[in-house]
Amino acid sequence: MNLFKKITLFTTIMTFCLIVLGAYVRLSDAGLGCPDWPGCFGTLTVPESQLAIEKAQHTFPGQVIENDKAWKEMVHRYVAGLLGLLILSIAYLAYKNKKSLKVNILVPYSLLGIVFFQAMLGMLTVTLLLKPIIVSAHLIGGMATLAILTYLSYEHFNKNSKLILKKSIIFYMARFGLILIFMQIFLGGWTSTNYAGLACTDFPTCHGQWIPDMDFKNAFNIFRNLGQTSEGAPISLNALHAIQWIHRVGAITVVIYFGYLSYALMKYKQLRFEAILLLIILAAQFVIGVANLILHLPMVLAVSHNLTAALLVIIITILNSKIKKQYA
């Protein structure tokens, strides 16, 4: 069981790092650094020699070979592959130690399904040329993996007793909070994958307007391709306004909701540390989001925005693990 705990914790940390790495790859426009999958220009690494480059150009005519972007993408794939093997080992160890497992065995098994789903999305991200719904779903899948691994790790490492709440709205708020943060992460991913992060560059208004001209129909059509409407025409700035504006509304909603939840949790001694930590991460996320707009998405802040989103998933998952409902 000790091996299960150690591998689960290591895999949780590795998943967090992979999410940050994936954000860096996406934000540096390296997602299509390799035009094929799972290899790169027909190789398992990146074409480096003159002969390998000529062969790649012959196999993929018209495709520009940018080694720096290709290596970023391949490192991301290598780490993801290793993560898949670790999750496979977690599922095996969970089965082997199922009598001493502190969670339903379906929880570690579900990770296998998510990893397979993530692999398919990774392939489709390349073959469908960064289709927004595929890239956004890939982000959600990564965050879901992080949440489940965090839950597994916390349940097996935590030695403190759970906080049992009788008929408390806090229990339901914490549960809904997990749904809410995933909804907001999807909106953030949708904003990023549609390159709508700078559709509005002022705050809190958008081009000086509280409610700018917006095209919701094309903004949230999940079947369209990147930069296009469903009819194939270039997507309008008004559609990008809508994406950015809804993400802002979501951000304000999240701040108010979790701000109140943190305040309510302060009265419980067992949850005070997590409540304070949630407030700190929430404030950091909001400040980084506004700074991204004002400073025009510098790489370090854009990646940090994804990092703090992952931290929010971790702390909210831990809160949900600690808060239990009394059914008697």
Q: Please state the φ and ψ torsions of residue 297, each to the nearest 5 degrees.
A: 55, 55
Best CA proximity match to 178, nearest among 126, 254, 240, 68: 254
DSSP string, 269-320: GGGHHHHHHHHHHHHHHHHHHHHHHHTT--HHHHHHHHHHHHHHHHHHHHHH
Spatial separation of the C-alpha atoms in residues 294 and 291, rounded to whole Å? 5
- Which of 73, 155, 231, 274 is catalytic? The answer is 73
Q: Which residues are registered as beta bridge partners of 165?
A: 325
CB atoms within 10 A of CB 131: 18
- Residue 177: Cβ within 10 Å count: 19
Q: Where are the beta strands (DSSP E) in 68-139?
A: none
Q: How far apart are CA 121 and CA 138, in angstroms?
A: 6
73 has catalytic annotation: yes
Structural contact between residues 230 and 221, judged by C-beta atoms closer than 8 angstroms: yes
Active site residues: 73
